[in-house]
Chain A
């Protein structure tokens, strides 16, 4: 085990970075998808439906591979138009992987956000409009906070999915924890030890995320508790 700690630490840091970046993209994809599904525009609804059907119905590891190699093939072809000596161009595995898992989990988040928006009480929206608040003000100050409270429990699950999905990115060569464990196994010959360490680190991440979700839910539901 000794001699590998710094590799694991580095890999864990990579996982944390992937998680944070994919979380941001996941929220953006989820909110856009929900907005499109709830809009009155038929083309927007069709695109959002295609998005959720495809990404919820395809194995995630395949999405990672398709996104990475698909973009690499395209980039290489385009690059060769300008410089025929180019042999291979790709998006860095970090970004290809981050976006791939954000797209997949974002498809689930689309449904979560859509449901939560529909759950916002029409009464508060009406009251805001009657008070003269604009559509945008109503959205930002009333709709989003109320939607958020409803979306939080499933959203916590989406965050856990992201944590676990980071492991998939080793397949396109990102040096995250599984990648390190594999290397360590081949030199030390101790696969179980090397993989159990990965397991424990993931467990620590998940625990952290679960704790965060609980704290957020506690805050979001503060108005339902008896006064102190």
Chain B
């Protein structure tokens, strides 16, 4: 990645408090278009909070966040403009249980983008094919396996044609045999040049796909490096300890 390209996501000394508790402390982060970032760290270290601040599912309490040229403030138009550019995938899939897979994929296109029905359905089928489950279009989420549900969730986000995809532990809720089918879809996406910020502990994925791996602890970015350096020569003692713990599994 050329360092000249201006960042698509820029966080400058961002802080987030929940009451007295500091979930994020002085976070600086720049993500360039097409860059693939993996964030890891112990539970409660603020990983979810960090990516949720990027599409303003949480409001940061200090510092500045600029996404795709829009600064995140209380201005509703800017938030909408930013959310349109960002797709988000959750640990627990969060599909709409009362809608078929197809409707899960068309509803936001139709309501938010005002896409006509036929076109929205064509887009939906295109992305269902991309995640390799076009035959499930008429089913309801509860009728699918976890891995299939997560792929539908990825397709749902892609239907909005985002420039950035945020993943919050997309495989943590899955049975081991389903993890790879979801990771394959994510690898494909990386191959297409999508800007990705992934919270995950799938270190194989991080090694093969990430441009940069970030370690978080207690609300701070403790260390960031390219995967090779990160895994073989971690600079910080806490990073090294964390890596020893998760690689033991």
Of the stretches B1-9, B89-97, B194-202, B220-228, the one at the interface is: B89-97
Chain B residues bordering chain A, tally (CB within 8 A)? 32
Partner of B90, one of A126, A132, A220: A126
What CA separation (Å) do A95 and B161 show in the bound complex?
Answer: 53
Q: Mark A184-228, 1 if CB is under 8 A from B, else 0.
A: 000000000000000000000000000000000000101110110
What CA separation (Å) do A222 and B142 show in the bound complex?
Answer: 10
Q: Mark B107-130, 1 if CB is under 8 A from A, else 0.
A: 110011000000000000000000
A141 is an interface residue with CB less than 8 A from chain B: yes
Are B94 and A124 touching (Cβ within 8 A)? yes
The bracket for how many chain A residues form the interface is: 20 to 34
Are B112 and A223 touching (Cβ within 8 A)? no
Inter-chain contacts of A128 with B (CB < 8 A): 96, 108
Partner of A226, one of B96, B141, B143: B143
Partner of A223, one of B98, B156, B160: B98
Q: Is the interface of A mostly helix, strand, loop or mixed?
A: helix
What CA separation (Å) do A224 and B141 show in the bound complex?
Answer: 9
Are B84 and A223 touching (Cβ within 8 A)? no
CB within 8 Å of A: which B99-156 residues? 99-100, 107-108, 111-112, 138-143, 153, 156
B213 is an interface residue with CB less than 8 A from chain A: no
Least CB distance, A83 to chain B, in whole angstroms: 54
Partner of A123, one of B84, B86, B90: B90
Residues of chain A touching chain B, judged by Cβ–Cβ distance below 8 Å, are: 121, 123-124, 126-133, 137, 141-142, 145-146, 149, 220, 222-224, 226-227
Residues of chain B touching chain A, judged by Cβ–Cβ distance below 8 Å, are: 55, 57, 80, 83-84, 86-88, 90, 92-100, 107-108, 111-112, 138-143, 153, 156-157, 160
**14 additional contacts (CB under 8 A) given A126-B90, A127-B153:** A124-B97, A127-B95, A128-B96, A128-B108, A129-B83, A130-B157, A131-B83, A131-B112, A133-B108, A142-B96, A220-B98, A223-B100, A223-B140, A226-B143
